[in-house]
Structure 1
Amino acid sequence: MMEFESPMRQLPPFTTNLLFFAAAAYAIFHIIVLNFLHMDAWVFRTLHVNLGAAIGFLIYAGWKGQRRDRINPMDFALALAILSAAAYIMSEHETLVMRTGVITTPLDFLFGAIGTVLTIEFARRTSGMILPIMALIFVAYVFVGPWMPGILHHQGFDTGDFFSFVYSQEGVFGITTAASSRYILLFVAFAVFLQASGAGAYFMDLAFGAFGWARGGPGKVSVVSGILFGTVSGSSVANVVASGTFTIPMMRRVGYNRETAGAIEATSSTGGQLTPPIMGAGAFIMAEITGIPYTEIIAAAILPCLLFYIAVYAHVDIDAIKNNIRGLPRSELPKLRKLSRDIFLLLPLFSLLYLLISGYSIIASGTWGMVCAVVVMLRSHLKVNSLVLSIPLAAFVLLPLLGFKVNTTGIIGVTLGLFSVAIAGYAASGVRGVSTGLKETAKTCYQALGQATHASLQIVAVCACAGIIVGVLGLTGLGGRFSSLILAIAGDSHFVALLFAMMISIILGMGMPTTAAYAIAASVVAPGLQQLGVPALSAHMFVFYYAVISAITPPVAIAAFAASALSGGQPWATSLKAVRFGVAAFIVPFLFYYYPQILLEGETVDIIRVFATSALGILVLAFASEGWLFGKIGTALRAVLVVIAFVMIFGGHVTDIIGFGLAGLLIIWRFVNRQAPQERAQKNGGLIG
């Protein structure tokens, strides 16, 4: 998750262990509050942000040149100050609810200012400079707005009232932090527990076993692992590092150049944030802002995600054909038959998805999925046959059908799982083996809890810092005026409005974590689209997609730059190739408005038709983008393919038939008349087609 953070300190063992214990306790605190302990929402969000910030100030150095073998006294002071702000809100929250932003006491102003500044500093240490600079610009705008022209003008606000307002549930502890506190750490913990249970290695083995042997095998493995790791992670850079460490050297080995290897990995990993059920923090924040159920959002994301990966897979396959890149020898790859025996290692993921689909709450589903990962961990430490995991899986599937509530189902399923794994372990290695396995599992759980907190800090920080910007937009009315500007520019053209929204969302996302980029775009751009009549789900999915794809869009393409660091390629060249491989992501969001069937809205027949014709159109576009159709093709034929692709993607019934017919005839003609590129170049005067 950490994409731009300051250097992590290398502290003495005692201090490191103490801070790790605090991180584990932070995670346990969230799990307890979310599942068992009722707490005032403002107080919980305050502890969520400020405890996380205190840990962040102690584990991350303030700047790169700072000594990393000890904690700077100033950082102790910052941690104490942010904890003091939390203590003040906890002691005064009942009266703060009544007077925030209206009647401000000196202490309200003091702790509001301290908390706001330290929230920005927390974001700087975990996510780099861009988001904090934007937050400071918006804070400055509050005070200079009375002298600004046009839509930027406002009447001005009292300094004390502003800091009291922004450091409340209207700003720092608002909608973005609501999603962060309720869902993010829980699902990050689920992801970490899933990785610790061995699912991450299993995902990679499964991808290599299924696709490593195929044409351009490691490139296709990268595409598939992007989907699988996207389910576990939710960060494009984290995905690049997690899977690219394996796939990029393999791609280089079979013949991919440095830039292509990096581009494939960057594009595939970026798509992980578009992959249900986690989708980074985007789906959770979207649910908070729009009120649309989380399960509906992740269901709507399925077909667009498939279109994206169909396109990326096609690009990778065509590139492999062009460059005659073969797969890896089957003898070096994991055997699918053997891997199929371990399919029950995915028990946590199966239980999570099943409970979500069955209508249970996000928190209950995530919690029981995480607990199921503990069962899988124990099985891994005892080294027993994974078939024993079918017992808890059967319980999670069957008990809800018999009317059992989710917690009863979880208790029974996990108990059966632990008991069956322990019995199998006892049969294999006796009491001592089971005792050792239990100890190792407990140790792994403790480490996973601490790692979950470390992995969550960036999202906690960016959600809180983005809350400052959202608060300023609400306080000054700039968000509404910006929506009016979109309406004015667009006029009666929804296409112009969508194009404008696309550009703003991409610009906002450059160099920033997707969570913050989406949160800001959702406040600035999405309301304007909704005023034009774009449905809430379509508008928010639209800006979310472009916030995500900004990770591979020059000039600040963070995922592509991370992949180029691993491949040794040129960052800009890698980024430009990534844009080509991910071109579908720049087109698909327009379908959200023009053809909402792609979001599973409408009749089943229409949904199938729109998806099928869009998929075929995207495949044709891949041939045009790669300049290859049974041989190299020239500019004229590529232009024809682009037209056919857009006719199929955005057309109606008649144009779909026309596009399908033209594409079929063109493919047949190219197949029948395929010749060596040099011969065709001579015949066409240099235009190869």
Structure 2
Amino acid sequence: VKENWYLLIPLLVLVYLLFSGRTPLFSGMVGVALTAIVILGSAIILKVQSFGLRCAFWIALGILCTGFFQLGIGVIFAVIAVLVVGCGLIKGGHETLTICLHALVEGARHAVPVGIACALVGIIIGVVSLTGVASTFAGYILAIGRDNLLLSLILTMITCLVLGMGIPTIPNYIITSSIAAPALLELGVPLIVSHMFVFYFGILADLTPPVALACFAAAPIAKETGFKISLWAVRIALAGFVIPFMAVYNPALMLQGDNLWMTAYMLIKTLLAVGLWGMASTGYLLRKMPLWERLLSVAAGALLVVALPLTDELGFALGIVVILQHVWRSRRAELALP
């Protein structure tokens, strides 16, 4: 990481562009272009010993790349062409160009199944759109959401769990985001949050019965039935089902907004809520939990999820009390042992 940290630059820029509101297509194009520029540029300048020349090179390259926003994609192509010529003229540059060529081949090879998946999903989306299923579903969600956002979210969750059954990741996202996400957008849920909400539950379909592909794949290893494993998987992952709801009610959990303190607060709150729900679903922390402790854990976790006045304070207080008394009871039981 210390030697190749600069290779993270395209990824960081990609994430920044996505969260700043740029389209995925635009962000992906910039990320790919920056990847090529960073690899070719590093092959040239890393052979220079002077730190000052290295800094000047990267600053100049960065200034040239920013011209893309004013002059268009031609600037990027020109920069890449110059770097390719430069790599061809230096020692070891041909190896870098060969690696880039192999990367292009691998990228094209991996893009084929994605393209096939998109084509197949396009048929499904076309049928859904032409028959009016998508608009009808969105209408129902909007009608319910005007009176009860929570109920709309629950219906959307169930729909995504059904739509995601037995479908690979990329088609899963395309289907759920095209059918379920628009309704959440109309209800005022931010773009990133609404898409993550539907995608999250679309992926969770892999462990929810009756399909639960991941569980049936694990069945031969565990020497159990896939259905039984799926029930245990849902029980263990129960705490994870509440995270998207918390993100909808407070988008700061997904870095939406400028208040970093609120983001940190939401992170702490979510960790505690997930921990409490995990304790309740598994029935264990330091030792086996009695029923009343599990019920109190559920109540504390629910208070942290519900976005109402004083619920956070009550949830934090009840959750801390439950954890502290459980630790105290466990320590006392250990001391009582001979």
Classify the TM-score, shorter chain: 0.7 to 0.9
Question: 1:627 and 2:283 equivalent?
Answer: yes
Distance 1:646 1:462, change over 3 A: same
- The residue type paired with residue 124 of structure 2 is I
**2:182 & 2:18 partners in 1: Cα distance?**
29
- Aligned 1:178-197 pairs, distance under 5 A: none
Instruction: Render the CA deviation track for 1:61-103: whole Å, top value 9, x for unaligned.
Output: xxxxxxxxxxxxxxxxxxxxxxxxxxxxxxxxxxxxxxxxxxx
- Contact residue 396 and residue 409 of structure 1 kept, 8 A: no
**1:487 & 1:355 partners in 2: Cα distance?**
30
1:395 equivalent in structure 2? 58
**1:466 & 1:603 partners in 2: Cα distance?**
36
Question: 1:535 and 2:200 equivalent?
Answer: no
> How far 1:510 moved relative to its partner?
0.8
**1:414 & 1:634 partners in 2: Cα distance?**
68
The match for 2:318 among 639, 658, 662 is 662
- Contact residue 348 and residue 369 of structure 1 kept, 8 A: yes
The match for 2:11 among 344, 349, 374 is 349
**1:345 & 1:679 partners in 2: Cα distance?**
54
Distance 1:512 1:403, change over 3 A: closer
Distance 1:550 1:673, change over 3 A: same
Question: 1:525 and 2:180 equivalent?
Answer: yes
SS of 1:589's equivalent in the other structure is helix
Gaps in structure 2 of 5+ consecutive residues: none
- Contact residue 249 and residue 307 of structure 2 kept, 8 A: no
1:82 equivalent in structure 2? none
- Aligned 1:228-239 pairs, distance under 5 A: none
- Aligned 1:497-646 pairs, distance under 5 A: 497-529=152-184, 533-535=187-189, 537=191, 538-561=193-216, 564=218, 568-570=221-223, 572=226, 575-576=230-231, 578-601=233-256, 604=259, 605-646=261-302
**1:393 & 1:619 partners in 2: Cα distance?**
49
- Contact residue 84 and residue 97 of structure 2 kept, 8 A: no
Distance 1:367 1:450, change over 3 A: same
- The residue type paired with residue 462 of structure 1 is A
- Contact residue 648 and residue 660 of structure 1 kept, 8 A: yes
2:33 equivalent in structure 1? 368
> How far 1:561 moved relative to its partner?
5.0
Distance 1:568 1:414, change over 3 A: farther
2:111 equivalent in structure 1? 456
> How far 1:647 moved relative to its partner?
0.9
- The residue type paired with residue 667 of structure 1 is I
**2:56 & 2:232 partners in 1: Cα distance?**
42
- The residue type paired with residue 62 of structure 2 is L
> How far 1:587 moved relative to its partner?
1.4
SS of 2:200's equivalent in the other structure is helix
Gaps in structure 1 of 5+ consecutive residues: 1-338, 427-433, 683-689
- The residue type paired with residue 621 of structure 1 is W
- Contact residue 470 and residue 520 of structure 1 kept, 8 A: yes
- The residue type paired with residue 399 of structure 1 is G
Distance 1:367 1:476, change over 3 A: same
- The residue type paired with residue 535 of structure 1 is V
Distance 1:359 1:397, change over 3 A: farther
- Contact residue 621 and residue 641 of structure 1 kept, 8 A: yes
1:180 equivalent in structure 2? none
- The residue type paired with residue 133 of structure 2 is L
Distance 1:674 1:486, change over 3 A: same
**1:441 & 1:671 partners in 2: Cα distance?**
57
**1:498 & 1:678 partners in 2: Cα distance?**
44
> How far 1:601 moved relative to its partner?
4.4
* Structure 2 length-normalised TM: 0.72
Instruction: Render the CA deviation track for 1:530-588: whole Å, top value 9, x for unaligned.
Output: 56x343625443222211222333333344555x38x9335736545544554344212
**2:60 & 2:164 partners in 1: Cα distance?**
40
- Aligned 1:104-183 pairs, distance under 5 A: none
**2:254 & 2:95 partners in 1: Cα distance?**
44
SS of 2:205's equivalent in the other structure is helix
1:472 equivalent in structure 2? 127
1:444 equivalent in structure 2? 99
Instruction: Render the CA deviation track for 1:364-410: whole Å, top value 9, x for unaligned.
Output: 4223233146449969xxx989x99x94897269834x994247589
**1:557 & 1:594 partners in 2: Cα distance?**
28
- Contact residue 620 and residue 642 of structure 1 kept, 8 A: yes
**2:163 & 2:250 partners in 1: Cα distance?**
26
Distance 1:404 1:556, change over 3 A: same
SS of 1:568's equivalent in the other structure is helix
Give the number of equivalent residue pairs.
323
Distance 1:613 1:418, change over 3 A: farther
**1:464 & 1:546 partners in 2: Cα distance?**
23
> How far 1:641 moved relative to its partner?
0.9
- The residue type paired with residue 482 of structure 1 is F
- The residue type paired with residue 244 of structure 2 is P
- Contact residue 351 and residue 393 of structure 1 kept, 8 A: no
**2:124 & 2:113 partners in 1: Cα distance?**
17
Distance 1:520 1:473, change over 3 A: same
- Contact residue 33 and residue 76 of structure 2 kept, 8 A: no
Instruction: Render the CA deviation track for 1:592-647: whole Å, top value 9, x for unaligned.
Output: 44333434445625444334322321222233334333323233312211211121
**1:630 & 1:615 partners in 2: Cα distance?**
18
- Contact residue 541 and residue 592 of structure 1 kept, 8 A: no
- The residue type paired with residue 67 of structure 2 is K
- The residue type paired with residue 663 of structure 1 is G
> How far 1:456 moved relative to its partner?
1.8
* Structure 1 length-normalised TM: 0.39
- Contact residue 348 and residue 372 of structure 1 kept, 8 A: no
**1:676 & 1:596 partners in 2: Cα distance?**
42
- Aligned 1:88-103 pairs, distance under 5 A: none
Distance 1:357 1:554, change over 3 A: closer
- The residue type paired with residue 395 of structure 1 is W
**1:568 & 1:392 partners in 2: Cα distance?**
53
- Aligned 1:247-262 pairs, distance under 5 A: none
1:199 equivalent in structure 2? none
Distance 1:635 1:392, change over 3 A: farther
- Aligned 1:76-95 pairs, distance under 5 A: none
**Percent identical residues:** 29
